[in-house]
Structure 1
Amino acid sequence: MENRKCKQIKIQVRFLTKLIFILSPIFSFGQCFEKNIAFQEGELITYSVSYNWGFLWVNAGEAYFKVDSTIYNGRKAYFIDSYGTTFKEYDWIFKVRDRYQAIVDKETLRPLKFSRDVYEGGLKIDEKYVYDYSKNLIYSDIEKSKEPRITDTLKLSPCTFDVLSMIYFARNLDFSKYKVGDKIPISLIIDNSVYDLYIRYQGKEIVETRTGQKFPCIKFTPLLVEGTIFSGGEEMTAWVTDDDNKIPIFIEANILVGYIKVYISGLKGLRNKGSKK
């Protein structure tokens, strides 16, 4: 029984930041590049993650997303930094320290560079992508514990995004044109592969946070990639604010063992006035 509990905790904490970055499939787009109206330099969003362990809910970790400005190859750009960690009291079971970073063009929001540096229960992954629009190529460099280093060149198709740049690009889109039940296709690069997925628009709802704040939200169920966390299918539901900020407020999902809830815990430096009710 104790081994089963430890296995459940391990699956949950490994899921910690992967869940946040699955946020990318809750968005889609009709054209490749947009003018940014949703976020700005100085924005900081924080989240807490809870896991259902039998009859108990366990607060196992936290994550943040931060936006700064930078110059990349002579162009003005946004530098997006996200970090997720288990709380120290859970490190003895399964330690997680995950960092994702992206550089996106300030004018078009197209991705320029992406990195993923994660430590999960002894597994170390260092994943990098560099986008070359002059040649329509993506250069990848991936290192994993006890595996040979992979360097590769992938075709850069129109509207291809990594998990982090897609989130911030898609926050600028107008979802009013979709009907309840519509499937919206997306293209996502991760683990040196490009996945064709979709999200299903489920309408609008009012969501109340843990602090009692209420937000009008857009509701989605994304199609998930089958793997070590999910069995595949529409096993996740997400709510984002129905305003110009498009902030992910709440997520819940079934995983292979257990149930996850992700709560927003802090907002700072928003570009637009929020739509709290």
Structure 2
Amino acid sequence: MQKKIIVLTILWMAIIAAPGVAQNDFCSTGNKCVQAGEKLNFKVYYNLSAIWVAAGEANFTTRQETLNGKQVFHITGDGATYKSYDWIFRVRDKYETYMDMETLLPVKFIRNVDEGGYKFTNNVTFDQELRKAYSNKKTFDVPQCVQDVLSAIYYARNIDYGKYKPGAKIPFSMFLDDQVYNLYIRYVGKEKIKTKYGTFNAIRIAPLLIKGTIFEGGEKMAVWVSDDDNHIPLRVDSPILVGSIKVDMMGYSNLRYPLSSLIKKK
């Protein structure tokens, strides 16, 4: 079984890259979609030999807190395999980001990984004005408006996809594992999508995958977000080196706006 099926599937921003795209269009993006109290639940499915197996879940919560005298969103993403799946590959991951409530730029990022016996912890503090990241007692230069792996998801939800034509690439930068990645999202267009939760009007985007991870290279991953003011992820679908994975939104609460993109619930 390949590693990092749960969280790095949901946190799809962690594995998309586009060398050569230097422009950063995210600096002007403020918060229009997210509010404190929001909760999202996802179920992860693994497919091998045309059989889909429910492998685990991921949950995301958003709280409002004070950090260094500033009001921030404290967003937590927890991913875990089901106990019945642990014998194949056990995952207990936790990601946290503290984001400025207006700019959605990260101030602090914490990652605790426990995957198949491999454990790793990383704490990063960002100084967005000085363009510095402090990680593992080292200081790194970072681009303007840099994101971490979790904040990037919430930042991407606030993109105004309506101003782009299908095929457009939307670039940004991310700091992960003490390295800066120049990344982009390709806007594919609008579609109807039927998930385990229901049928939705959706916006489809395609991140370009880094070759050499558990995912194949190229734009083979598809991500659908709700075509309403919330832009919550509805489905992630991608082949991996062995089989394929599917991630569906299965529950939500305290969204900022009504989930008007839902056509029919199952």
Alignment TM-score, normalising by the size of structure 2: 0.91
CA deviation vs aligned residue, 1:142-193 (integer Å, no higher than 9, x gap): xxxxxxxxx3211121121011111112222211111111222221221111
Is 1:164 matched with 2:130? no
Correspondence for 1:223:
208
**Residue 30 of structure 1: CA displacement?**
2.5
What letter matches 2:166 in structure 1?
Answer: V
Correspondence for 1:16:
6
1:248 to 226, 233, 242: 233
Of 223-232 and 120-129, the range deviating more from structure 2: 223-232
Decide whether aligned partners of structure 1 residues 23 and 117 sit closer, same or farther in structure 2, where only a CA change above 3 A counts: same
Structure 1: gaps (5+ residues)? 1-9, 142-150
What letter matches 2:218 in structure 1?
Answer: G
Is 1:267 matched with 2:252? yes
Whether contact under 8 Å (2:142, 2:175) holds in the other structure is no
Decide whether aligned partners of structure 1 residues 133 and 160 sit closer, same or farther in structure 2, where only a CA change above 3 A counts: closer
1:108 to 103, 108, 114: 103
Structure 2: gaps (5+ residues)? 18-22
Correspondence for 1:148:
none
Runs of 4+ in 1 over 6 A off after TM superposition: none
Whether contact under 8 Å (1:84, 1:97) holds in the other structure is yes
1:73 to 68, 71, 74: 68
2:47 to 24, 27, 52: 52
Correspondence for 1:38:
33
What letter matches 1:191 in structure 2?
Answer: D
1:238 to 220, 223, 238: 223
Q: How does 1:151-230 map to 2 (within 5 A)?
A: 151-211=137-197, 213-230=198-215
Correspondence for 2:20:
none
- The RMSD of aligned alpha carbons is 1.8
Secondary structure at the residue paired with 1:210?
coil
Whether contact under 8 Å (1:33, 1:110) holds in the other structure is no
How much identity, in percent, do the aligned residues show? 43
What letter matches 2:233 in structure 1?
Answer: P
Alignment TM-score, normalising by the size of structure 1: 0.87
Whether contact under 8 Å (1:225, 1:233) holds in the other structure is yes
Whether contact under 8 Å (2:58, 2:80) holds in the other structure is yes
2:58 to 63, 70, 94: 63
What letter matches 1:19 in structure 2?
Answer: T
**Residue 266 of structure 1: CA displacement?**
0.3
Secondary structure at the residue paired with 2:255?
coil
Structure having the higher helix fraction is: 1
What letter matches 1:140 in structure 2?
Answer: S
Correspondence for 2:113:
118
- Equivalent-residue separation in structure 2 for 1:19 and 1:106 (angstroms): 25
- Equivalent-residue separation in structure 1 for 2:173 and 2:143 (angstroms): 9
**Residue 197 of structure 1: CA displacement?**
2.2
What letter matches 1:133 in structure 2?
Answer: Q
What letter matches 2:236 in structure 1?
Answer: I
The aligned length equals 256
Is 1:95 matched with 2:90? yes
Whether contact under 8 Å (2:25, 2:171) holds in the other structure is no
**Residue 23 of structure 1: CA displacement?**
4.4
Higher-Rg structure is 1
What letter matches 1:131 in structure 2?
Answer: F
Secondary structure at the residue paired with 1:15?
coil
Decide whether aligned partners of structure 1 residues 55 and 214 sit closer, same or farther in structure 2, where only a CA change above 3 A counts: closer
- Equivalent-residue separation in structure 2 for 1:54 and 1:254 (angstroms): 12
Secondary structure at the residue paired with 1:161?
coil
